[in-house]
Amino acid sequence: MITITKAEENVLNQIKSYSEDKMDVSILKEDLGIYEHDLNDLLNSLKSKGLAIYDGSTVELREVDAKINTVDSKEDVINAELNQKEKASFDLIKSLMDDDGFVSRYEIEGNLLYGDLKLSDFRMYHILLSLENKGLIEAVYRKNGDYYKVL
């Protein structure tokens, strides 16, 4: 799922309304009636999310099979993406746990940092803390090291 803001959705819908494959950004700017730097930011955001091909002067839509979720603000986008990362992280932790529900802290950190999710240090620790606060995992110390217990 790809999460975008309402402003990004407006730009995306305007691009979709044109029959041409590539369109000039100046036409888009006039039709939407927004400032060039705001449009540039929105188009770069759509590009980073894989929804558009943008080179500074022209824009083109990409074919995407993923579901697009629209929220009100950038903060809501961050929260929605964090919730998706939390779910994926918790699923990964559950797949790593032993029969008693324990997983080594270092094994979790390694998989979150260098596995498919490729989280940053800050994001990883934020997600682990959030999962602890939600009561899904618990940090425990065992005689052979630091572990998390899946609750």
**Separation of alpha carbons 28 and 66, rounded Å:** 24
- Model confidence at 145, pLDDT cuts 50, 70, 90, reads confident
Whether the per-residue pLDDT at 41 is higher than 80: the answer is yes
- Model confidence at 107, pLDDT cuts 50, 70, 90, reads very high
| CATH code matching the domain that covers 73-150, chosen among 1.10.10.10, 3.30.56.10, 3.40.50.740, 1.10.540.10 | 1.10.10.10
Asked if the 2-69 domain carries CATH number 3.40.50.880, the reply is no
pLDDT of 69 reads 78
Q: Could you tell me the pTM of the whole model?
A: 0.59
Give 28's Cβ-side CA count (13 Å radius).
28
Q: Which residues are bridge partners to 60 per DSSP? A: 22, 53
> DSSP states of 50-110 as a string?
TSEEE-SSEEEEPP--S-EEEESSHHHHHHHHHHHHHHHHHHHHHHH--TTSEEEHHHHHH
Helix axis angle for 36-48 and 6-16, nearest 10°, is: 90
Instruction: Note the pLDDT tens digit of each residue in 50-96.
Output: 888 888 888 888 887 778 878 787 777 777 777 788 888 988 998 99
Instruction: Note the pLDDT tens digit of each residue in 110-133.
Output: 998 898 888 888 988 988 998 888
Q: What is the mean pLDDT of the chain?
A: 86
Averaged pLDDT for residues 93-114: 90
Among the listed residues 62, 63, 57, the one whose alpha carbon sits nearest the alpha carbon of residue 27: 57
Do residues 52 and 15 lie in contact, with contact meaning Cβ atoms separated by under 8 Å?
A: yes
Residue intervals of the chain classified under CATH 1.10.10.10 are: 2-69, 73-150
